[in-house]
Each structure stands twice: as structure tokens, then as C-alpha cells.
Structure 1
Amino acid sequence: STVIFYNKCKHTVWPGIKPSAGEKLLAGGGFELPANKSHTIQLPPLWSGAFWGRHGCTFNKYGHGRCTTGDCGGYLSCNGSGGSPPATLAEFTLGPLDFYDVSLVDGDLNQMCPVGLQVMSRNGKRVVACKSACSVFKLPKYCCTGLFGNPISCKPTAYSKIFKTACPTAYSYAYDDPTSIFTCSKANYIVTFCSHHRR
């Protein structure tokens, strides 16, 4: 299988890659993808991990710097580290039957965001991302922890419903399985950033 990353944004995106524990690190865990470009990666047959887009990044010639969203410790190559929320994740588990999903559990890059969850640009003039209610309020009902750590008591909240409305087939909270996980067999995948923009 392969995954092709397409950047249809008008700006550069820095994809991050985090393998699951014990899985092979791909492309050093991250790379730069200029606007209107693509990059293909070969996937091992039994691989699991996540991809996400980092935005607003600046790196020096040694690959040290930071990103406004999805930063992985200030490095271009994430080397197995995950991205700091908010980050929209594309999660894959490959095998005889592949499982994949898009997760907004750690936040979203959607600019339609309630005031309390907004992440502002460095100059404070525009919304660049949306934090999850869990990361902001740290309450069990938003994080699906403690008494809410099961699918019976952890239900959609007003905040998760905002994410679900924006992206109906993505995970909006931890137990959003029925409408959010998909399967495929022996497929190649495409991860598109800014899919709503035309090339």
C-alpha cells in the first residue's frame, strides 16, 4: 500500500507521522509539503499509526523550530512523537482488512469554532484552529474518563456536536465509532490537505 499526501492549500503544510508502538517510523516522522505538491510514501503491509498536518511552521536549517498547530517538540522530523493538540488525525491500521478513521478528538483545524476553544494566529487576528473541550476544560464528561470512561455514560456534548456537524464522518469524541471507522482491503490511500481548494 501507499499513501499519497496532496497539499491543495495555498500555503505549505508539514505532515507529521506517528507510528503506533513497535511500528516502523516512516519519512523520519515528518516532512515539508509545499502548496500544490504531493509526496508518496510506501506503507509496510502490517502498519498502524497516524498522520496529521502541521501549519504555521518555521524551521531552521537543522530542522528545529515550531508550528502553530500539530507541533511535535519543535522538530521537522517528529521521530515517533505525536503532534500537540489541536490536530486533526488520520489514523490507520493496515492488515488483511485495513481500518481507518479521521479523528477530531484532539481538536480540529476548523475555523468555525466557539470562542472558548479557539486557537488564534501568532498576531492574534484570526482563528487558526479549534481545541477540543477536553483539552480546554479537562472534565471527565468531555474527556470520556472516570465515570464517563465507557460508551454508556460518555455521550456527545454540545462541543463534540459542533465538530460532528463540520465533519460528519470523523470521530468527534472517544466513543463515536458507529459513524466514524471505515474498512478497506489492499488499498492505496490519499491524504489531502485543504481538500475544498481547487488546484
Structure 2
Amino acid sequence: MVSISFSFFSSCFPINSFLLFTSLLSAALIDAATITVTNNCSFTVWAAATPGGGQQLKQSQTWTLNPPENTTRGRIWARTGCNFNESGYGSCQTGDCNGLLECQTYGSPPNTLAEYALNQNNNLDFFDISLIYGFNVPMQFSSNSKLCTTDIQCIGDINEQCPGSLQAPGGCNNPCTVYNTNEYCCNSSSCEPTRYSRFFKDKCPDAYSYPKDDQTSTFTCPGGTNYKVVFCPTGSVLTNTITRNTTTTVSICQSNSTIIIPQAKITIVAPAFKSCNKQFYVSLSKQ
């Protein structure tokens, strides 16, 4: 409980100073946001955040972030296909941040982004999902408190239907990354949707599809709202890129377990094992 007395204000105290004081007081009483990051994918991801660093997340694991209040240009994303040594150095197929487990810079494309700015104009938080740097995993970004009920997501299977020129190992590039022209990067004030941005917008209507896509892609909640970011949320579809001579390992426990590998168009129905320690190996090779 906070008890405040204003008896020290007198008629000689400038009114504009009083307004400034109350404005600062109001801002100080707003709690900093907590952001919970959850991996709902069937595979391990290496979550990354600026500010925040990075952490490996196996399926169903969570990571809690407490970014500073008034954070601007905050980002959260999933890295895939990573390999780090004990010192935290390595590389990732998507979303790599200069080979560090604890990210200090933004990730390299393609990567689906959760972006946010806290306690900005009128004490509002601004947040979005962005495909401006491409797509690697489906994502949900939503409020996690009674202050706000906004829920945005990108759950389309973009990797499966990615245009040929934008295809990348583990994901789908944005055309700016591939072509680096004003048409796609919007380096000037003149910029219109393109056939590629329409592809991304069709798959993920809530997400930024190109840099000038503000009107349908920026969302707000009151300052102090808590949030959650979920990789591969319920209802999402993700087809992983299968490279040559890929070996997939799947644990089989239940009777008549079905293993579906969409891009290879292979469905395997296997009998149950008495122990969940058994594993079934599928070797794939593109022709």
C-alpha cells in the first residue's frame, strides 16, 4: 500500500511542476512487464531475446523474461538447428546471433519475431509479430493478464508453401533479405505491398508482412501488462525443411503411433513398444 501526502504543495508551487511530479509518479507505479516464453514445438529450440540473452528450450519448457520498463525495440525469437559448446559458442541454422548462446545482437534471418516497446506514449505497450526478417517457426504473442486480452498469432505453414526464390534452410526468407531493393525493403517513404508481402499476409494476417504494414499489425495494451510468447502454438502447422540424407528420431509409446513427415509425404504406422525408451529411426534422402 502506498501512502502519499501532498500537503507540501502550496500556492507558490508551480502547477506545471506538480503535473510533472504526478506524471512521473504514475509512471513509477506501473510494474515492469514479465514475458513468459514457451516452446510448444515437438523439437528443441534455442530461445533468444534482446534484451534477455538466450536459453535452450526443449518441448514444453519455459523461460521468464523481465525486461526493463520503458524498453524499446525489444525482440524475442526462436533459433533452430543450433549446436553450442560448454562455453556458449556455436551456431544456429536460423536466427543465429553471432554464434552466441546468450544473444547480444539481433538474430540473422530467417526468423519469426516478437517485437515490443514498453510504457511508451500514454503509458501504452506496443507489440507485434513480424515477418520482415522471414519465418522459421509459428508464433503466438498475447497478453497474460486481466489488463488486456489481445492475442495475436502467426500459425500458417509458411515453410511448406514458401516461394522458391525465398526458400532457405530451416525457414522462409523475406524478399528484402534476398533482393535488397527499395521495392521490398522500403528504404524510402514510397513503398507498397508486393506479391511476396501478400503471401506472408495471407498466411499470417496479424503479422507485419513488409515495413509499412503498421495499420493491421501493431497492437497495444496498458503499461504493466504481462505477456506470453509461444513457439508452435496450438493449431499451428510446421513443415520442417528436409535436407539430403536426414535421419529423424521419433519416440514411440502408444499403440498404432503415427509418424507423419509432411514434406516427404511419408506416414508410418508402428506398433507400440512396452517401454517408451524405444526409438524408431527414419532415414530420408531427397532424390
Normalising by structure 2, we get a TM-score of 0.60
- Cα distance in 2 between the residues matched to 1:114 and 1:188: 36
The answer as to 2:110 corresponding to 1:99 is: no
- Cα distance in 1 between the residues matched to 2:68 and 2:181: 38
Hey, what does 1:180 align to over in structure 2? 217
- Cα distance in 1 between the residues matched to 2:235 and 2:54: 23
Give the aligned residue type for 2:69: P
Q: Which runs of 5+ in 2 are unaligned?
A: 1-32, 137-157, 237-287
Q: Which runs of 5+ in 1 are unaligned?
A: 20-25, 121-127
Instruction: Name the larger-Rg structure.
Output: 2
The answer as to 2:216 corresponding to 1:191 is: no
- Cα distance in 1 between the residues matched to 2:40 and 2:126: 25
Deviations 1:7-45 (A, max 9, x none): 1001111111124xxxxxx2xx11111111112122322
Hey, what does 2:25 align to over in structure 1? none
The answer as to 2:68 corresponding to 1:32 is: no
Hey, what does 1:161 align to over in structure 2? 198
- Cα distance in 1 between the residues matched to 2:172 and 2:186: 19
Shifted more, 107-116 versus 67-76: the winner is 107-116
Hey, what does 2:250 align to over in structure 1? none
- Cα distance in 2 between the residues matched to 1:137 and 1:45: 37
Equivalenced residue count is: 177
Normalising by structure 1, we get a TM-score of 0.85
The secondary structure found in structure 2 opposite 1:16 is: strand
- Cα distance in 2 between the residues matched to 1:6 and 1:158: 32
The answer as to 2:86 corresponding to 1:69 is: no
Is the 2:55–2:63 contact (alpha carbons within 8 Å) kept by the matching residues of 1? no
The secondary structure found in structure 2 opposite 1:68 is: coil
Q: Considering only aligned residues, what root-mean-square deviation do their CA atoms show, in Å?
A: 1.3
Give the aligned residue type for 1:4: T
Considering Cα pairs closer than 8 Å and 6+ residues apart, tell me whether 1 or 2 has the greater RCO: 1
Identity of aligned residues (%): 46
Deviations 1:52-106 (A, max 9, x none): 1101111111111110100001110112x11001111111100021000111011
The secondary structure found in structure 1 opposite 2:206 is: coil
